[in-house]
Structure 1
Amino acid sequence: MTFQHYLLGLFAVANNIPALPLHMNLCRGIDVTGQHRMCAVATGSSLVTMAVSLVVGAAVLEFFGISIAAFRIAGGLLLVSSGLGMLKSKCDEPGALIPLRLSEMIPMAVVPIAIPLTTGAGTMSTIILFAESAGSLTGMLRIAAAIGCVSLVNYVTFFYSPAIVRFLGHTGMDIFTKIFGLITLALGIQFIITGLSAAFPALH
């Protein structure tokens, strides 16, 4: 697979659009330094989760005796469910100000903003399956580069989320969510087809 394939697949499942309303709500009333810290913690947590999935995900499957074909089918079903949810969802408005100190908000930047709103089970499944199909060090480096690019975009999106939401409006946010949902749905179906073909060669 090409770098562009990995990048598009990860953008579909690891975008932080669902986390933006909560992130904006938390960042109200804090200074720029605090906002930078919130963005860095949320993005860093997401990056670490994706990196761990890339490095040890296949070993975990092997430890539990789960075949790649079975995991492809399960991951595909998960992505289909996630994609359908994104197609049906609406982006909520940021709620009222939550009066929390920065020290109380940092854990929320990890859970739920980074995990699972930005990097959930669907993202981890996608990375593990990408890593399994990479087949070479070059392929793994392409996936790692895609993870880095997605993380950079997520950081910028978090930091400029108020301006982005004002520019797109709720209709624009809904459109973006549905586009990513459609890509996620198609990716999940492709994983299921590949998994079934591997598990049942007669179907190929």
Structure 2
Amino acid sequence: MHDSLTFGLLCFTTFFTLMNPLGLVPVFITMTSTLDTEQKVTTARKATIAAMVTLIVFAFSGQLLFKFFGISADAFRVVGGIIFLFVGMDMLNARLTTTKITQSEVKSYVNDISITPLAIPMICGPGAITSSIVLMEDAHTLLRKCVLVGSIAVIGILTYIILVGATKISRLLGEVGNNVMMRLMGLIVMVIAVEFFFAGLTPFLQKIFIK
């Protein structure tokens, strides 16, 4: 039992750090600024559910999928970096708050941003996916597997609660505050994009130039 508790603590801290729900608040606020409260809650729910399902699926089948398709976690980092870069550019230019969403487009818009980029790669990024696969390799017992899945579920619920609470922050900031926040976060997201991109690209370059 003590061993499972230790493993559970490891899973919880790992996923909480990598998924970083508190760090998602400014991004979520800026990306959903054109939506009403109910639509923001729907977006948060879909994003967290999609992230949890993705992590659990990769935990149980990640190694098999990676081997079958011949892909690596570094490739995920490169793609994630590219997606982050475009999101950061939009935020830096304040395009997310100036985009007008008609009522007929709301459902499509919510579905789009809840899956990409909110669920993947912001909530469920390359690091979290890789960790779910690695931790599942260490889960040799059924209890450990249950602990791993439970940890993912707990972090998902916490992420949902935090994102739903972000709507109150949005009202306090107002339009000007949201625009300032968006531009600042745009710079940060672009820096993260560069880190992701080169962290994934470096191993490929080493294979090419270092033999």
| TM-score normalised according to structure 2 size | 0.60
Does 2:39 correspond to 1:39?
no
Amino acid at match of 1:56: S
Measure, in 2, the Cα distance between the counterparts of 1:143 and 1:116: 20
Does 2:155 correspond to 1:150?
yes
11, 14, 21: which one aligns with 2:26:
21
Higher fraction of helix? 2
Measure, in 1, the Cα distance between the counterparts of 2:25 and 2:16: 15
Measure, in 1, the Cα distance between the counterparts of 2:161 and 2:133: 25
Report matched runs for 1:110-189 at 5 Å: 110-163=115-168
Amino acid at match of 2:139: A
- Structure-2 residue corresponding to 1:184: none
105, 114, 138: which one aligns with 2:109:
105
Moved more, 108-117 or 27-36: 27-36
Contact 2:21 2:159 in 1 (8 A): yes
Amino acid at match of 2:165: Y
Measure, in 2, the Cα distance between the counterparts of 1:113 and 1:65: 26
Contact 1:51 1:144 in 2 (8 A): yes
- Structure-2 residue corresponding to 1:4: 9
CA distances 1:145-203 after superposition (whole Å, capped 9, x unpaired) = 00000100110111111446879xx8xxx9xx9xxx9xxxxxxxxxxxxxxxxxxxxxx
How much identity, in percent, do the aligned residues show? Answer: 19
Give the alignment's Cα RMSD to 1 decimal.
3.6
Q: CA shift at 1:21, angstroms?
A: 2.9
Q: Tell me the secondary structure at the aligned position of residue 97 of structure 2.
A: coil
Contact 1:53 1:127 in 2 (8 A): yes
CA distances 1:2-36 after superposition (whole Å, capped 9, x unpaired) = 21111000101122345433421243343332122
Q: Label 1:18 to 1:57 Cα distance change in 2 as closer, same or farther (>3 A).
A: same
CA distances 1:118-142 after superposition (whole Å, capped 9, x unpaired) = 1111110000000001111111101
Q: Label 1:26 to 1:60 Cα distance change in 2 as closer, same or farther (>3 A).
A: closer
Show structure 2 runs of 5+ residues with no match. 1-5, 82-90, 174-180, 193-211
Q: CA shift at 1:38, angstroms?
A: 1.0
| TM-score normalised according to structure 1 size | 0.62
